[in-house]
Structure 1
Amino acid sequence: MNNLANNPAPDVTEDGFLGGQLKLRQPRTGHRAGHDAILLAAATPARSGDRVVDLGSGVGAAGLAVARRVAGIDLALVEIDPTLAALARGNAAANAIAADVIVLDVEATASVFAAAGLAPDSADVVLMNPPFNDPARHRASPDSVRERAHVATATTLESWVHVARRMLKSNGRLAMIWRADGIAEVLAALDRGFGSVEILPVHADVRGPAIRILVRATKGGRAPTQLHAALLLNDESGVPNKWVQEILAGNGGLPLSRP
């Protein structure tokens, strides 16, 4: 593995993920990769040889984590911000992971996607961590990049799911993460063209409601919706869940990740 720069720029940090198996440079402030990206990667059902597209990839954390777990995927990282895309390109190279990094608005037209090499019915797997904070309850950030990365509009989820549906082959798989109180929005968006939906609630601890949902869906799937047992990040004493820590360290995947 190539080493990243020994002295990152003052506005960039170098951080280890997957127990040090993946090292990423990312902005010191603004949108930063964390547990959400790694849990999403661990819930992504990919096989060697699959064309895998990470929508809104940021610096590449989720997509590159999938590639570290599943060798031989054909990975594309799609990011609207050129600065983050440049970091993603550097991160892929530094970790010796082959990836196409494409600067593109996720809500661009099908013709724009096709011109960028992302034609309809061409992907086996799409993963995404769309902006999901409710603007009515989210304090606006002075950082425009961070705001765009975190705050959803009224059409964000529907638009991103539409793009995933367009790109996926028949029986292609979608993996996504969203805030738990938006589960009705997720199910409504997936009702058009997706089935075989599986939902994994994520709780900070046993006492509180779910804070995230990890979702797997199949284009054209017909199996009934499944709700998996909750994933607890911490046990009753507030101690980090050992299984979750193993997942975050890159040792295995979540139930949704089976091919």
Structure 2
Amino acid sequence: MNDTTEDGLLGGRVRLIQPRARGLRAGLDAVLLAAAVPARGGEAVIEAGCGSGAAFLCLAARVPGIRVAAVEREPAMAALAAGNAEINGVPARVAIGDVADAALARTLGPLRHGFANPPYWPGGTAPPEALRAAATHERGAGLDAWARFLAAAVAAGGSATLILPAARFDAGVAALRKAGFGSLVLLPLAPRAGQPAKRVLLQGRREGRGPARVLPPFVLHAEDGFTPEAEAVLRDGAALPL
């Protein structure tokens, strides 16, 4: 993939080579997703649909010593992810594969934590731009398949974390429950105080039996930029506990 840029995440702690094309570039979602994964040093994690690797690289920057596996369907993006892992000094196994392949997930597991920023709009709906279709619209594998993939890779008691549009949180809840994740936690991500959430973080535990919880909204923007809490996550690499 020749038309790329080199960018920095987490205040420059992460170097990311990524496509210049809109719809394939990492944004806030990847950083917020990584901040919500409850990993500790020495644990093994897996990202489904890793793209150029932004989320797992941000997680590795926050939690040194994790062991990373990642799966990406597009060979060019998988190559970028592997290269980005190397330049950031992150040991990562990046496999080319599809989330519909639960057998692949089992060969990579069992791991402690799984996470994904899946294509979130149902197949058959009109994409906002052709270049963004693969990144934002389901092609074959729906949310159920993404949840099953994570369930096949994650050990009992481990976590699965998704970032989704708020309009699809119900589909995410249903998919995780069907795949065997319980003790679900929902964190709304509000653009500004008092505004409805546009994104949500959703996390469950494999075979979890605790009650579901909805947390107070995490507010991203203030009048003069990001809120201090969002700055801590997006620039300084702070965790976003669920």
TM-score interval (norm. to shorter):
over 0.9
Runs of 4+ in 1 over 6 A off after TM superposition: none
Question: Quick check: 1:23 aligned with 2:11?
Answer: no
8 Å CA contact 1:129, 1:177 repeated in 2: yes
Distance 1:80 1:14, change over 3 A: same
Identify which of 174, 177, 182 aligns with 1:195: 182
Secondary structure, in 3 states, of the residue corresponding to 1:39?
Answer: helix
Structure 2 length as normaliser, TM-score? Answer: 0.93
Structure-1 separation of matches of 2:53 and 2:111: 18
Matched residue SS, 1:185: helix
In the alignment, what sits opposite 2:36?
A: 43
1:176 equivalenced with 2:169 (yes/no): no
Q: Deviations over 1:70-93 (max 9, x none)?
A: 111110121111111111111111
> Which segments of 5 or more consecutive residues in structure 1 lack a partner in the other structure?
1-7
Kindly report which structure 2 residues correspond to 1:64-79, keeping only aligned pairs within 5 A, or say none.
64-79=57-72
Larger Rg: 1
Separation in structure 1 between the aligned mates of residue 237 and residue 170 of structure 2, nearest angstrom: 32
Matched residues in 1 for 2:241 and 2:128: separation?
A: 35
Change (3 A) 1:201 1:42: same
Whether the 8 Å CA contact 2:58–2:237 is kept in 1: the answer is no
CA contact 2:189–2:219 (8 Å) conserved in 1: yes
Question: Aligned AA for 1:49?
Answer: G
Query: Residue 3 of structure 1 corresponds to which residue in structure 2?
Result: none
Gap runs ≥5 in structure 2:
none
Map 1:242-257 → 2, pairs under 5 A? 242-256=228-242
Matched, 1:210 2:197: yes
Once residues 153 and 171 of structure 1 are traced to their aligned partners in structure 2, the CA distance between those partners, rounded to angstroms, is: 30
* Matching of residue 141 in structure 1 with residue 129 in structure 2: yes
Give per-residue Cα distances to partners, 1:196-224, cap 9 Å, x unaligned: 11111001112431101101110011110
1:100 aligns with 2:93: yes
Distance, in Å, in 1 between the alignment partners of 2:130 and 2:41 is: 41
Q: In percent, how many aligned pairs have the same letter?
A: 36
> How high is the TM-score relative to the length of structure 1?
0.87
Report if the CA contact (8 A) 1:45-1:175 is conserved.
no
Q: Does 1:14 align with 2:6?
A: yes
Residue 186 of structure 2 contacts residue 201 of structure 2 at CA under 8 Å; is this kept in 1?
yes
Alignment-derived partner of residue 116 in structure 2: 128
Number of residue equivalences = 240
Contact 2:47 2:56 (C-alpha < 8 Å) held by counterparts? yes
The SS at the match of 1:250 is: coil
1-structure distance, mates of 2:52, 2:237: 22
Q: Distance in 1 between matches of 2:155 and 2:81?
A: 26
1:102-122 deviation per Cα after TM superposition (whole angstroms, max 9, x unaligned): 111111241x445xx414xx1
Q: Distance in 1 between matches of 2:43 and 2:36?
A: 15
1:118 corresponds to which residue? 108
CA contact (8 A) 2:100 2:141 kept: no
Aligned to 2:77: 84
CA positional deviation for 1:137: 5.4
Aligned to 1:4: none
The 8 Å contact of residues 48 and 114 in structure 2, kept in 1 or not, is answered as yes
Deviation at residue 152 of structure 1 after TM alignment: 2.4
Asked if the contact 2:187/2:214 (under 8 Å) is kept, the reply is: yes
SS of the residue 1:126 aligns to: strand
